[in-house]
Amino acid sequence: MRVLGATLCVSLCACAHYDLPAVVPDPAVRESLELRTEPGARSGLTTWSVEYRYSLTEEHGRCWLRKPRVVLALRESVPWVPATGDPIVLAGLDKLTQHEEGHLRIDRAAASALARVLRSIEPQPTCAEVTRNAESAAARVLDECRAANLAYDRATAHGAR
């Protein structure tokens, strides 16, 4: 089992237009989402971790990857602001929430991509080769997710534009 994660911080600001990936649900992906408000916080935080599993089966002199499973754990924290009714504060929170939702979309798309790439692993003569191919492919997908989250933050100035 591999456990990988990333943490990204964002400022309380508006999001610019950014082309976010489409999220296509995948039956091999299980997700948990924890939403938290943080009293006194001045920024939002989205964290993610991914675990993936699969079984290996040897048949006819070849090893096959079977039953990939991906578990995506998401945690989204946003500032807690007492109900002031101040439209500027409320608009800022709405924009922060929209920005954090962008990170969630990127992470969900990556989890689905991970499940797809694991299913696409070709049978090999040995299970060690299948495992190497699966781990290499998974690392690429997760690296792409990290890069997409960083690019999103750069393009939006962490939500400032």
The predicted-structure confidence for 10-40, as pLDDT tens digits, reads as follows 222 233 457 888 888 899 999 999 988 877 7
pLDDT: is 148 or 97 the higher one?
148
Chain segment 118-161, per-residue pLDDT in tens: 999 999 999 999 999 999 999 999 999 999 999 999 988 877 76
Q: How confident is the model at residue 86 (pLDDT cuts 50, 70, 90)?
A: low
What is the distance between the alpha carbons of residues 27 and 114, in angstroms, rounded to a whole number? 12
Location of structure tokens 């079984």? 55
Query: Token pair for residue 40?
Result: 């006194």
**DSSP calls for 43-82:** EEEEEEEEEEEEEEEEETTEEEEEEEEEEEEEEEEEEE--
